[in-house]
Amino acid sequence: MHIKGDHAELVVGGRLDVRSAADARLALHHAVDSGNGDLVLDLKDLDSWDATGLGVIMGTHRRAGRCGRRLVLRDVPPRMQRVLVATRLHRILTIAS
29-85 pLDDT, tens digit per residue, is 999 999 999 999 999 999 999 999 999 999 999 999 999 999 999 999 999 999 999
Indicate if the pLDDT at residue 6 is higher than 80.
no
Indicate if the pLDDT at residue 90 is higher than 90.
yes
Fold that domain 2-95 belongs to in CATH:
Transcription Regulator spoIIAA (3.30.750)
pTM: 0.91
Q: How far apart are CA 7 and CA 27, in angstroms?
A: 10
Burial class (CB in 10 A: 0-12, 13-18, 19+), 78: exposed
